[in-house]
């Protein structure tokens, strides 16, 4: 089997555009949310747990190609069958579908694909379920999905390893029954329902994942409550990979209980992470495991590029240290289900391989080595003081250039940090962190912060 990087840049552009366009049409709903579907006709098919690949037919040959440039040109039985069904004389053809691998037991899983394509795998288990037609005989086919699907059925008729995915016409009321038949029975990962207006719905059971809590932010209104959690999973080499955050924690009592437990475990950290609200996460020892429920997990962003997240190391001297950005995944619509007192915050209980139960992130088993990066330099530092009721309040602005943005895209070019210390407050220290792509934007943000927060009575130190 030969796998290489394709040089067909124009084709890769088409694949990325298709993936981005289709992704914008998808809406993921859980099986208990079927009432949200509008009345009307749908074309419903099972969701195959595989990887998105494309059948690529040109005058130069027939291949399987992925949106990231990987290309399979030979040595795969499913590809031999595709070449018989769609010889090069068929003209320029591009078909989207799921590359999957038959499992020893139960339905196919996304992780089975990589194994089947490996040197130790069995390529005979690999199949392809086609679900859309992008190009046919050198031209874009009809915008009507039913017509495109009809062509797929015709040109792939007789295939065994490669087929047009089974699709049924259904009303909204029929979908629940189809879900029971295919998903609840374990035959499929979920359903895909295409509405007549072009919208596409992925219908899945909720995905549960156990994560270690490695950081938290405090509520601005109630400092004794947690606002959001920073979550991590353990890689095989013992490093912790950031998997995302969760702010949907439940009621106030749970937030208080989390704060009481986590505030006792804070540690030093050379790694900094800012929440979507601008609050800086306080890093802590991984002492608590939480069960997170989400609607889906994705390993690629809207452009089709792998999602990159930080792998961290923890030691008694330095606390948390940022090692390197690695391939990861994002949790969609995460919600904390419960604290898992019966789980350990290490080892198999929080293994990163849980991600491959729902998506395919490359390199999760690889070891992580620390990336040496240039040092940052401070470009602006201002401190202001004010005496309030006999106590000294301090506000400090710090702007620095990271010098790392050209080394790795995970870094911003500039960081603006504003600290507000008021001893009379219940929570004395408040921080705001902003990011900027260049010096001009950083200066504008810094000036706006000073205008909003440093008024009469403040003296520059």
Any idea where the domains of the chain sit in the sequence? 2-204, 207-357, 377-460
Relative to beta strand 162-164, strand 126-135 is parallel
Burial degree of 406 (CB within 10 A; 0-12, 13-18, 19+): exposed
pLDDT, one tens digit per residue, over 1-32 is 554 444 467 788 888 888 777 766 778 787 77
* Confidence class for position 357, pLDDT limits 50, 70, 90: confident
> Are the CB atoms for 101 and 78 separated by under 8 Å?
no
pTM of the model: 0.59
DSSP at 389: T
Residue 140 has pLDDT above 70, yes or no: yes
What is the predicted pLDDT for the residue at 55? Answer: 94
Q: What fold is seen in the domain 207-357? A: OB fold (Dihydrolipoamide Acetyltransferase, E2P) (2.40.50)
Calculate mean pLDDT across residues 176-199. Answer: 89
What is the predicted pLDDT for the residue at 303? Answer: 60
Quote the CA–CA distance of 55 and 78 in Å, as a whole number: 11
Please determine, looking at this structure, whether the domain spanning 2-204 carries the CATH number 3.40.50.1820: no
* Confidence class for position 68, pLDDT limits 50, 70, 90: confident
pLDDT, one tens digit per residue, over 258-293 is 999 999 999 999 888 888 877 889 999 999 999 999
CA distances from 243 to 234, 329, 423 (A): 10, 7, 35
pLDDT, one tens digit per residue, over 34-47 is 888 888 899 999 98
pLDDT, one tens digit per residue, over 399-424 is 999 998 887 766 889 999 999 999 88
């Amino acid at each position: 089997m030969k796998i290489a990087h394709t040089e067909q840049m124009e084709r890769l552009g088409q694949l990325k555009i298709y993936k981005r366009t289709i992704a914008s049409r998808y809406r993921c709903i859980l099986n208990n949310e079927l009432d949200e579907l509008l009345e009307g006709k749908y074309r419903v098919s099972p969701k195959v747990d595989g990887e998105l690949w494309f059948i690529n037919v040109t005058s130069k040959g027939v291949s399987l190609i992925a949106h990231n440039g990987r290309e399979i040109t030979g040595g795969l039985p499913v590809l031999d069958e595709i070449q018989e069904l769609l010889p090069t004389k068929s003209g320029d053809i591009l078909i989207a579908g799921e590359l999957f691998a038959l499992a020893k037991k139960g339905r196919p899983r996304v992780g089975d694909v990589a194994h089947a394509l490996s040197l130790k795998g069995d390529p005979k288990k690999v199949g392809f379920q086609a679900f859309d037609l992008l190009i046919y005989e050198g031209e874009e086919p009809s915008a009507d999905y039913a017509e495109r699907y009809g062509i797929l059925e015709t040109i792939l008729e007789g295939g065994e390893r490669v087929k047009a995915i089974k699709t049924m016409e259904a009303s909204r009321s029929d979908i629940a029954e189809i879900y029971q038949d295919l998903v609840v029975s374990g035959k499929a990962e979920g359903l895909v329902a295409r509405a007549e207006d072009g919208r596409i719905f992925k219908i899945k059971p909720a995905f549960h994942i156990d994560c270690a809590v490695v950081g938290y932010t405090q509520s601005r209104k109630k400092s004794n409550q947690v606002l959001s959690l920073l979550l991590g999973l353990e890689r095989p080499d013992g490093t912790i990979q950031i998997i995302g955050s969760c702010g949907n924690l439940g009621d106030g009592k749970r937030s208080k209980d989390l704060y009481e437990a986590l505030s006792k475990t804070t540690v030093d950290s050379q790694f900094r992470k800012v929440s979507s609200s601008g609050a800086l996460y306080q890093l802590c020892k991984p002492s608590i495991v939480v069960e997170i429920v989400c609607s889906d997990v994705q390993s690629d962003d809207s452009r089709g590029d792998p999602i990159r997240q930080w792998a961290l190391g923890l030691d008694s001297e330095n606390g948390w240290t940022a090692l390197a950005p690695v391939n990861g995944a994002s949790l969609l619509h995460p919600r904390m289900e419960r604290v898992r007192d019966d789980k350990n915050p290490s080892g198999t209980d929080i293994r990163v391989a849980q991600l491959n139960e729902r998506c395919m992130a490359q390199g999760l088993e690889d070891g992580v080595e620390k990336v040496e990066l240039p040092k940052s330099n401070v470009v602006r530092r201002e401190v202001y003081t004010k005496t309030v009721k006999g106590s000294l309040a301090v506000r400090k602005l710090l702007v620095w250039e990271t010098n790392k943005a050209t080394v790795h895209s995970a870094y911003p070019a500039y960081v603006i940090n504003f600290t507000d210390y008021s001893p009379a407050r219940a929570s004395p220290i408040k921080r705001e962190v902003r990011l900027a792509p260049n010096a001009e934007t950083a200066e504008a943000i810094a000036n706006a912060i000073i205008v909003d927060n440093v008024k009469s009575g403040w003296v520059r130190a």
